[in-house]
Amino acid sequence: MILLTLWSVSAALVPGSTISYAPERTSTILKWKSGSIKIAISGSLLKPGANMKADSDAAGAINRSLATWAKAAGIVFQESVTEKQNVSPSGNMGDGVSLITIAQTPENLLLFSKNPQEAAATTRVFFDRKGFISEADIVLNPYQQFSTDGTFGTFDLESTLTHEIGHLLGLDHSPVLSATMHDNYGKNGVFGLQNFGSRTLAEIDISAIRAKYGSDSGDATECCGAISGKALVSKGIGAKGVQVWAEDSDSGKLFGEGSTRADGSFRFDGLPAGDYTVYAQQVGKLKSAFSAQEIGNVEVESGDASPLIKRLVANVSDVELQYLGFNGQLSELAVPLNAGRSYTLYLGGKNIDKDQISIRFSSPFLTHSKKTISNVNFGDDITVVSFEVRVDPLTPIGEYSLFAESKDGRRSVIVGGIAVRSFSNPFSIFTLSDN
């Protein structure tokens, strides 16, 4: 089913969650002092009311979402069940109990409105002046519908909780579309798919949590190293607020993303040992001075910070990629694809024309056929092309970038817009053979 007229970002999306910090958020790095964290599950979640689809496996979803983070980093959760139902009121201190609740009490309902575009959940984090978290309460929005079986029009409970537990651990939102910590995620049904993408962590979520808590001691990967670098406008002058990201040099998988500070410096922590390619682009500005470009290659070793300093090349690009899509829809969500299949993707933004740009991937596992690119009319405010992408059968699960290159070699990138996942996206054109 292709609905070419269905062009809607806002209708397809609702915020996954909001996060409130009490007391006021400073620039402090938030984390728990100890990696051993007590979590109290409200009985309201184990005997949920009408806003949880009947026969949902709420207990399983809670356990799995906690285990997902515990497996990624040096964290141990101690779960218990409590009769408590209410979020702690905002203030300097909570009640010391980190609660996960869905109870429809007046205190919890105050956090939300009945607007269906409202967040799926809110996490309220309490911390001290040093940034050490003492309590974090997760409240699932009692006005929203949840399920664990992918029912369209409901939020996936496990995806929602996995995102909120990231906040509970001190993580902020990520601008990368395929990150579990991205601030929007759809209800089940966007792109005609069940939305299980946030049940698992993207590599950049794993790097972010390992930067705070280290890796799990039983983990075989050589973790963790870092890249510390600086992007310059000219000698001695930093390039401020430029998006930078790090990909595995061989697979093209995304492992780190951020933006440069006022002096042009940036840092990626929590990286497994390996070879990385680092890129930069100025985003959100048409005719930006720095179109996407490679900063350099670095080898990262466990325990070290590998340095990288580069003067950016000023090159203005007219092309700006903003949205990716699939199944006749464009959105600000990542596109979940399966290895070994071929799909028709949509790419929307400014000055995107099949005769003026070529589509490229940094990963050797992703390819497209030039013959398949065509312009698509989605209205006056946006230019869109569609094309066929082939995902090699051996593509590792992970997040990948896609870029458009104009004839003069200038590039715009959607960082981590493609998510290769194990849950099924059946809307493929065909299945690729293994040989």
Cross-strand bridge partners of residue 232? 238, 311
Scan for tokens 């040099």, then name that residue: 249
Judged by DSSP in three states, 372 sits in helix
Does 154 interact with Zn ion (rule: CB under 5 A)? no
Residue closer to Zn ion by CB (options 123, 412) is 123
Does 198 interact with Zn ion (rule: CB under 5 A)? no
Residue closer to Zn ion by CB (options 17, 372) is 17
Does 288 interact with Zn ion (rule: CB under 5 A)? no
Question: Dihedral (C-alpha) 80, 90, 166, 151: value to the nearest 10 degrees?
Answer: 80
Does 159 interact with Zn ion (rule: CB under 5 A)? no
Residue closer to Zn ion by CB (options 17, 108) is 17
Residue closer to Zn ion by CB (options 163, 230) is 163
> What is the residue type of 12?
A
Report the chain's C-alpha Rg in angstroms. Answer: 22
Does 425 interact with Zn ion (rule: CB under 5 A)? no
Q: Which residue is nearest to Zn ion (CB)?
A: 17
Residue closer to Zn ion by CB (options 165, 391) is 165
Measured distance CA(375)–CA(387) in Å, rounded:
9
Smallest gap from residue 156 Cβ to Zn ion (A): 15
Scan for tokens 């990138």, then name that residue: 413
Using an 8 Å Cβ cutoff, are 99 and 137 in contact? yes
Smallest gap from residue 138 Cβ to Zn ion (A): 10
Interaction with Zn ion in 9-28: which residues (CB under 5 A)? 17
Does 178 interact with Zn ion (rule: CB under 5 A)? no
Does 180 interact with Zn ion (rule: CB under 5 A)? no
Smallest gap from residue 173 Cβ to Zn ion (A): 6
Smallest gap from residue 293 Cβ to Zn ion (A): 31
Measured distance CA(382)–CA(269) in Å, rounded:
36
Smallest gap from residue 16 Cβ to Zn ion (A): 5
Smallest gap from residue 20 Cβ to Zn ion (A): 10
Measured distance CA(302)–CA(127) in Å, rounded:
30
Measured distance CA(368)–CA(361) in Å, rounded:
9
Question: Dihedral (C-alpha) 205, 68, 306, 34: value to the nearest 10 degrees?
Answer: 110
Scan for tokens 């290659």, then name that residue: 297
Phi and psi torsions of 269, nearest 5°: -110, 170
Does 122 interact with Zn ion (rule: CB under 5 A)? no
Does 141 interact with Zn ion (rule: CB under 5 A)? no
Smallest gap from residue 333 Cβ to Zn ion (A): 15
Does 281 interact with Zn ion (rule: CB under 5 A)? no
Q: What is the DSSP letter of 315?
A: B
Residue closer to Zn ion by CB (options 22, 300) is 22
Footprint on this chain of Zn ion (rule: CB under 5 A)? 17
